[in-house]
């Protein structure tokens, strides 16, 4: 009887594996489309302002709406992906990823443009944790790093190609076309998700039967969670600083508009190709790889403010991207090691939300600091803060590993 049950479980696992692979590929595609949707706006902001006669503050509202709504949904909504309604929540998020751009393409007032961006941001805040959950829950630990790397790669690829897509489609058909094309891509992902049975959840019986698939429980859950939140902040803090100051720095150093435009693509290419390998390299010690990658990244970041040749800054940025291609997926892997599979989306949403908050704070503080102190202290200070935060995360993590006995499931539920 036992042998028969084992055979049945193995057959069931084999039958669901293609569906799980299809779900993962679908969500990676959704992350890419979402990132493209974020990127297409940037080169068209001036045109949109002119067409709708907007004040300059309106541009900030449109850009910020997506950012803050994504943060709120990561923290407040994505946790539902670990519940019984995971499929409904995911499908709702996927629907918002195309409804937002579609609404934006026909909006004719500031409040509509802002609300449309917020709708898309909510969808992104749901889809990203869902993709990260699909990359970890029910997956052998040795395979997680590469899958998380593919997600990071898709995200960066969308960010890099989004502005290029926006400019090309605008030239072909006007401002609305880029957002309508993004909406069509999102709608195709949504329809495919409807057709794939079980999208958005990992079978509970599978998690019970495969002990290897479940991540180890943390020794002291709350302390370990603090460590991963700090690691998330350290990982994303440079992104916020670069968003606010990269173009300004290259301009002040005499860089042309063409060089500034190319710099984003040149930064993104190594990341896109190396992130899956970086995630695989992180292996069984992802925290050390994440901290090491941030240490290397910090060295490059600190140098930018003192280099006078803009082309040299761009070249060094490509090398920094290689370090981040290890650090970011390694950070996702650390989160997966803290949160068991049944809380996978919650953990990844917290990690993403903490990183989003840190990036936003860095972007807000960076510009006035640059104005007051200049590029050298700002970039060196940002690098020091990122590295120091990562080292504190490592220290707290060690304390968690040396802490008390593992909590019971009920107490861990209370903490989460």
Class of domain 217-415: mainly alpha
User: Which pLDDT value is given to residue 401?
Assistant: 65
1.10.287.130, 1.20.1250.20, 1.10.3260.10, 1.10.1040.10: which CATH number matches 2-211? 1.20.1250.20
Q: 2-211 and 217-415: same fold?
A: yes
User: Given this model, what pLDDT does residue 8 score?
Assistant: 44
The structural domains of the chain, with segments of one domain joined by +, span: 2-211, 217-415
Q: What is the pLDDT of residue 127?
A: 92
| pTM score | 0.79
Per-residue pLDDT of the chain (416 residues; tens, 9 = 90+): 444 444 444 444 444 567 778 888 899 999 999 989 888 887 787 788 888 888 867 776 777 788 788 888 888 887 788 888 888 999 999 999 999 999 999 998 889 999 999 999 899 989 998 898 888 777 666 677 788 888 989 988 988 888 888 888 888 888 899 999 999 999 999 999 888 776 655 444 344 433 333 334 433 347 888 888 999 999 989 888 887 788 788 888 888 867 877 887 888 888 888 888 888 887 778 888 999 999 999 999 999 999 999 999 999 999 999 999 999 999 888 888 888 777 888 888 888 888 888 888 887 788 788 888 999 999 999 999 999 999 999 998 887 665 533 333 343 344 44
List of residues 6+ apart from 358 with CB closer than 8 A:
232, 233, 234, 236, 237, 240
What was the pLDDT predicted at 402? 55
Predicted pLDDT at 255: 83
């Amino acid at each position: 009887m036992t042998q028969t049950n084992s055979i049945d479980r193995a057959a069931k696992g084999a039958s669901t594996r293609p569906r799980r692979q299809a779900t993962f590929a679908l969500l990676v595609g959704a992350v890419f489309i979402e990132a493209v949707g974020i990127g297409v706006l940037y080169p068209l902001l001036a045109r949109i302002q002119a067409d709708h006669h907007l004040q300059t503050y309106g541009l900030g509202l449109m850009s910020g709406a997506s950012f803050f709504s994504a943060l709120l949904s990561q923290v407040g909504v994505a946790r539902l992906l670990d519940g019984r309604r995971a499929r409904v929540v995911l499908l709702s998020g996927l629907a918002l990823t195309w409804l937002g751009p579609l609404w934006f393409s026909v909006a004719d007032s500031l409040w509509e443009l802002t609300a449309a961006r917020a709708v898309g941001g909510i969808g992104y805040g749901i889809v990203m944790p869902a993709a990260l959950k699909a990359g970890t829950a029910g997956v052998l630990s040795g395979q997680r790093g590469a899958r998380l790397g593919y997600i990071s790669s898709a995200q960066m690829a969308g960010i890099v190609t989004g502005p290029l897509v926006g400019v090309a489609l605008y030239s072909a058909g006007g401002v609305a076309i880029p957002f309508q094309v993004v909406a069509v891509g999102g709608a195709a992902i949504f329809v495919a998700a409807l057709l794939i049975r079980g999208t958005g959840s990992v079978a509970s019986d599978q998690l019970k039967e495969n002990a290897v698939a479940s991540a180890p429980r943390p020794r002291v859950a709350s302390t370990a969670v603090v460590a991963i939140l700090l690691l998330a902040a350290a990982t994303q803090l440079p992104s916020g600083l670069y968003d606010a100051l990269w173009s300004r720095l290259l301009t002040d150093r005499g860089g042309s508009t063409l060089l500034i435009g190319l710099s984003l693509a040149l930064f993104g290419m190594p990341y896109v190709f190396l992130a899956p390998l970086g995630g695989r390299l992180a292996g069984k010690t992802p925290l050390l790889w994440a901290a090491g990658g941030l240490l290397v990244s910090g060295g490059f970041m600190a140098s930018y403010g003192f280099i006078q040749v803009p082309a040299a800054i761009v070249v060094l940025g490509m090398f920094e991207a290689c370090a981040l291609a290890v650090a970011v997926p390694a950070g996702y892997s650390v989160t997966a090691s803290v949160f068991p599979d049944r809380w996978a989306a919650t953990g990844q949403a917290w990690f993403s939300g903490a990183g989003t908050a840190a990036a936003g704070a860095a972007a807000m503080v960076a510009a006035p600091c640059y104005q007051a102190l200049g590029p050298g202290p700002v970039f060196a200070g940002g690098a020091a803060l990122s590295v120091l935060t990562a080292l504190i995360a490592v220290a707290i993590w060690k304390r968690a590993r040396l802490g008390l006995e593992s909590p019971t499931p009920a107490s861990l539920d209370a903490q989460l």
